Structure 1
């Protein structure tokens, strides 16, 4: 019995040492692909296992103020959007964006895989969310208050003036549409309605 307890104690110590060593060896990436996109007016699709974070860019924004939407007169007819494992097309004149996720690119969320690409803050948030798969939708409008959403709940998701609905499903794809009520709701997020100093300070802090 004593030998068994002694062996168990040794194993426990070894496991603790391995955990400590792993923690010491782990170094977060120099650039987090998600925080590199912050702040953003648009919801962001994150593929946690592949290290990609891509905006669902429905409208154009100004380079100096990425939260400010450019007036429609400056838009084109449509443009393509894509990230790892998904692709779509934006139709700004009609205020919607269609995108499809490849089913074979979806898998279980892996905390170990996410740690290779994302900062500790993101990995912690991913783990707390406990997503159903490796795709997450993030509201990155506020620099210090990112909101993470499971792709499984996307049909019920409302991010500010953006709402999501299921689209036509094709073989091997999960399709969705993202609609915006920005113009219907009186440009609710137009930065010109706010104190410009607030935005200058906001962006100065991330440059």
Structure 2
């Protein structure tokens, strides 16, 4: 059997969207690199970390909204479908775009790692690469396994040219076009 890749996907994007549309509310589906993915249900610390980030973004940039779980068309030729934990864009940016929005105009996507066996491949590799291929300016990974905030920026040729990791507790200034400064000391409270 041929392994699933972007060149040999498990199904068409249209079939995936139909499947995702009819999935029960307890399941979040994604289509990354030609492969169907089931996104884990977030735990309490995961949600709390997202809310921490939401508050910081809203205080620093009230002209932007951090949308939880907004579906985006990502990857080569926009043939992937991802639901980042957060997508930061101008207020009202996603109005009228439907379930799977074009990533143009999104300034940052955010993932908070889950404690499951697929998080390494999914959040640290496949989604990162899909976000870079889509040209998303900043990918912020809050890595709960490493107690680190990892900033990916400057997408070029399907990869992020700049990747900087900061330990929890550091002051992190997100690069242009954001200019948001995150005080990460509070993340230590949600570390295992």
TM category, shorter: under 0.3
Higher-strand-fraction structure: 2
Bigger RCO (CA 8 Å, 6+ sep)? 1
| TM-score normalised according to structure 1 size | 0.25
| TM-score normalised according to structure 2 size | 0.26
Higher-helix-fraction structure: 1
